[in-house]
Amino acid sequence: MNELASIDRDNRGEVTQVRGLGSRRGLMEGSEAIALASIAAGCRFFAGYPMTPFTEVLEHFAKYLPDVGGTCINAESELEAVGMAWGALSTGARAATGSTGQGLSLMQESFSEITLAELPLVIFNMARGQQDYFQSTRGGGHGDYRHIVLAPMDITEAVELTQLAFHLADIWRNPVLVYGDYLTAHTRESVTVDTIDFGPVPEKAWALDGSLTGSGDSRLVSPLGFGKHGHPNPGIEQHLRSISAKHKAIEAAEVRCESGFTDDAETIVVAFGTPAKFVRYVVQAMRAEGERVGYVRPISLWPFPYEAVAQAAAGARTVAVFELCAGQMIEDVRLGVLGAAPVVGIGGISTDGSGFGVGPLLDAEHIRERIFAVHRGGAGAELPPLPDNERTQG
C-alpha cells in the first residue's frame, strides 16, 4: 500500500507526471503525503537532516525519490542540507529542504542569500510543540527578504499547499515555506495524491544548466546582482530594489485565508495551522448553540490577511487569538485590527512530555472554555488555567 502507482515518462525516459495513488484513496501519514505531493509537483531533489518530528518527511523522500529518478540526501547537518538544495536549485531543478524550527535556525543565513539570489526553494517546517510563527514569517537572516508561508490545517490541505508551494516558488522565484507540526507529520488521513495543475510557470532561463559553458555568455546566479564580466548587470542597489518591489507584488497577490460566521459575530477567534481546525470545530458547535462567534484562519502567514482580519473585527466586541505558544501571531492580528476591538491571547504553551508534540490544550473542551470565557466576559475575562500534561505533573 502507498507505493507510487503510476509514473508517466516521455520517449527519452524522463518523468512527465507522477500520479501518486491514482484515483484511489490511501490512509497515510502526513509526512508520506507531503513527500508524495512534492514528487507529484516535480520535486526531484531533497536534502535534510533527521530531527523529530521532521524525520519521517526525510525518510519518505528517501523512499520515493529514487523511483522517479530523483535524489534524496541525508546530509551531515542542516547547514549542508540547505547548501545542497541551493546547488540543485541553481541548475533549475525543483528542490526542497526542511527540518524543525531548531534545524531551520541553522539555515537562516542561506535562506536570506537564496531569497536574494531569487532561487525557488521550498522549505518544510514540522514545528515542535511550541509554534514557530516568528521564525517562519520574520526569519533570522539578513537583509530585506521574505518567504511566502503556507500553513495547512490538515493532511488533505497539506497535499494541495505543498504542490502550490512549488508552483509559487517558480512563479515568483522566491522561497516558499510550508508550515506543519507534529500532528501534520505524524497523524494519518485518507487522502489522494495526484498532480495538481496550477498553470504554466516561467521558463528558467537563468538556470545553470551547462548549455552556455565555454561560450563566454555563461550564466551567473548571485544574491548580489552581479553579472559576468563585460555583461550588463543591475548592481547590488538596483537588484535589491527589484526584490523589494517583487515582495510588494507578492503581498498584493498571494493572500489566502478562510473565515466563517464573521458577519454578526461578537467574538472573532483567529488561529492558524492544525490548531485552527480545532478552533473551527468549536466555533461551529458554539454557533449551533446560538452563540455569536466567528473565526478567521490565515492560510498564508506571509502575506498575512490583514484586510480579512480587519473586516472580521469591524463589528466585534473582542478578537481572541489561539496559539500554542506565549503569543506570536497576535502581533500581526493587532496590526490588522488597528484598535477597532481589543485583541487578547487565549492560547498558551502546551506540549507533551518530550516537548516535541502537542499538549492537552489542543483539546476541543479546553478551547471551548477559553473562547467562552472571552465571549461572555470580554477582553478582561479571566481564562481557565493552562492544563498540564501528566508527565510534567508526575
Q: How many whole angstroms separate alpha carbon 124 and alpha carbon 72?
A: 15
Q: Where in the chain is the domain with CATH 3.40.50.920?
A: 257-393
| % of the chain surpassing 70 pLDDT | 93
pLDDT exceeds 60 at position 285: yes
- The DSSP symbol for 388 reads P
Give the pLDDT of residue 61. 98
Domain 7-191 matching CATH 3.40.47.10: the answer reads no
Q: How much is the pTM?
A: 0.93
Q: How many whole angstroms separate alpha carbon 148 and alpha carbon 394?
A: 41
- The 10s digit of each residue's pLDDT in 300-358 is 999 999 999 999 999 999 999 999 999 999 999 999 999 999 999 999 999 998 888 88
Nearest residue to 43 via CA among 4, 21, 72, 74:
72
Give the pLDDT of residue 23. 43
- For 124, phi then psi, to 5°, come to -110, 120
Give the pLDDT of residue 93. 97
C-alpha cell of 299?
492560510
Question: Do residues 34 and 154 make contact, with C-beta atoms less than 8 angstroms apart?
Answer: no
pLDDT average, residue stretch 265-273: 98
- The 10s digit of each residue's pLDDT in 209-260 is 888 787 777 788 889 888 777 777 888 999 999 999 999 999 999 999 999 9
| % of the chain surpassing 90 pLDDT | 82
Residue 282 binned pLDDT confidence (cut-offs 50, 70, 90): very high
Give the pLDDT of residue 356. 87
Question: Do residues 178 and 150 make contact, with C-beta atoms less than 8 angstroms apart?
Answer: yes
Residue that wins the pLDDT comparison between 5 and 164: 164
Q: How many whole angstroms separate alpha carbon 35 and alpha carbon 70?
A: 12
Q: Tell me the average pLDDT of the chain.
A: 92
Q: How many whole angstroms separate alpha carbon 259 and alpha carbon 352?
A: 29
Q: Where in the chain is the domain with CATH 3.40.50.970?
A: 7-191
pLDDT average, residue stretch 366-375: 98
- The DSSP symbol for 47 reads E
CATH no. for 257-393 = 3.40.50.920
- The 10s digit of each residue's pLDDT in 13-60 is 554 555 544 445 789 999 999 999 999 999 999 999 999 999 999 999
The residue assigned the cell 522517479 is: 68
CA–CA distance from 190 to each of 30, 88, 106, 183 (Å)? 10, 32, 34, 15
